Amino acid sequence: MTLKSENHKIKNEFSDLFPDDIPHLDELPTDVYHHFVLKDPNMFIQRCQYDCPKKYREAWKQLLDGHLRAGQMRPSDSLYASPAFLIPKADSTALPRWVNNYRALNANIVPDMHPLPLISDILADCAKGKIWGKIDMTNSFFQTRVHPDDVKYTAVTTPFGLYKWLVMPQGCRNVPSTHQRWMFGALHPLISKICHVYLDDIIIWSQTLEEHICNVRTVLETLHAHHMYCSDKKTSLFLMELSFLGHVISQNGIQPDPQNVEKILNWSVPRSTSQVWAFLRLVCYIAPFLPKLADFMHVLNPLTTKDAELNFPMWTDSHQAAFDSIKKLVCSRKVLTSIDHDNMGNNRIFVSCDASNFRTGALLSYGETLETARPVAFKSYTLKGAELNYPVHEKELLVIMRALKKWHVDLLGVPFTVYTDHRTLENFFRQKELSRRQAHWQEFLAQYNFDIKYIKGEENITADVLSRISADTVIIDPSACVTVSLIHIMTRSLCDIPESIIAFASTASQLLITADPAWLSALHTGYVQDKWCQKLRSTSGSLGVREQDGLLYIGNRLVIPRVPELCEAIFHLAHDSLGHFGFDKSYAAICDAYYWPNMRTELERMYVPACKDCQRNKSPTHKLHGPLHPLPIPDG
């Protein structure tokens, strides 16, 4: 017995469920109706008819006649009128697609909040199976009637007059919710046990062929009892590999659809903010398969803002490196498994966490031991704002918090183990004195059943990698690197310093940062133009002056040529970007990192006193001015 023959056999047995066309309206169920609830019942939607190209008038007439014969449409004298139009299909021999423009009507309809099932839940349940089936409803919306009192709202203009829909029209608000509610009501006893419903798709999974035959029959019998009709061409009842909602499910696990992966790999360099946004959005769809994704996403995210749109193109080497790295990451994606909560056996759930100075990483895995467990999902996150200042143990706790929130569907109510390379966290629940933040976190963590165990850093490989950028993940041009003193300023205004620190130097007082090539070019140009820098370069090797990678240093301080734009940019970094502190804090932020003659004097006497924001917002120190009085008008 082959799967193909079994598929053909059962379809023949339930042939009345797979008609070429759905039955006439009179044969559809009368116990399910779609209702319109309007925000303002006194608002009438009346829109003009769209022009129809003469090439498609005959095709439109064929579509209209077909709907009239099936009882799906009827001539109308409604006070409502929404426009309709046709969209040609890729197959030029096929009839165009009928589209209703209900945008104005939809704005006046109260939304139906019936939820769609979570895709993650569907994938997790389907991954438990070893054989699958997929049923596609044919013209699913046309299988549900519109309530007779509400058909007037569906009226659309055509080149042949005004017509109203007697079945649910496509493009109308709340139609998917009505259909999902109908499907869910019919298959409710079976959902999450042997099948899932997502709009007009039904997915069935089983462990064995015999079990699958029984499950398929059960689902088809339920559909038959509720007079639901399916598409023969799009229905496959016996599959060893299932493509569903952009994913491929097989006995090996869950993978992203190769077609979508191919789109990412073939994506050309973005030329606008909208193209960057579209690329990142597509990448996010396979984010669960990609460890270390946040390491590169944060480099491209700033290009999706309105400010970036005004200045595009601003594509730099760092953007290109992140763009290429994401593509490489996609090529090396992993196959994920899922957690079978109903049949755990000897398997256990593990959450491995780690935090570095700037990032956190977590791995959810499932198996008998930590060493043999397969990955379920990855999560990496870039620390922001005050999180960067958390002590080490709180950063490690923050990773655990975020991981449990992200995967609460899989973790709540079941025992699991959290692994961290911070030994003190093993005693967190026995800690007597807690800060306010720790007390809040402990209250949240108390709802989970888990143990925290210590693991050596070199053994916690995946989580450690997720929280860091390894040396081979970013290609750095040595000419675009600057060695400076310990950074007191963690902003991105002067050098476009990325949020990720690429690597630490051998001592804690040295950092390797990537700089904007345009800024480095301005430095080199300034050295040539500034006579003082030329003289300083001639004395390189004495008096603490040294030259490295074409840049001048006095001690560990980078020499800045006396170019007004460069000097002002550094002052802006030290004063404006840090929150408009006074001279002392502003100078302390840069005095150990940069040098040029009279730097202190220029900051103290020229830049800070002239700051408009400071002048506008600082509290006055002088006494209040006296009230103004009009001058007396002199006599005669």
Q: What is the pLDDT of residues 157-196, one digit of tens each?
A: 999 999 999 999 988 989 989 999 999 999 999 998 999 9
Tell me the pTM. 0.53
137 has pLDDT over 50:
yes
Mean pLDDT of the chain: 80
Residue 503 contacts residue 511 (beta carbons within 8 Å): no
Structural domains present in the chain: 3-250 (3.10.10.10), 257-329 (no CATH), 348-468 (3.30.420.10), 503-616 (1.10.340.70)
- 595 CB neighbour count, 10 Å cutoff: 17
Mean pLDDT value across residues 571-581: 80
Could you tell me which residue, 524 or 13, shows the higher pLDDT?
13
> What is the distance between the alpha carbons of residues 332 and 255, in angstroms, rounded to a whole number?
12
Indicate the pLDDT class of residue 474, thresholds 50, 70 and 90. Answer: very low
Residue 375 contacts residue 336 (beta carbons within 8 Å): yes
> What is the distance between the alpha carbons of residues 527 and 537, in angstroms, rounded to a whole number?
9
Question: Whose CA is closest to 364, among 329, 411, 330?
Answer: 411
Query: Percent of the chain, pLDDT > 70?
Result: 85
- What's the pLDDT score for residue 504? 30
- What's the pLDDT score for residue 254? 78
The full length of the chain comes to 636
Number of H helices, E strands in the chain: 21, 26
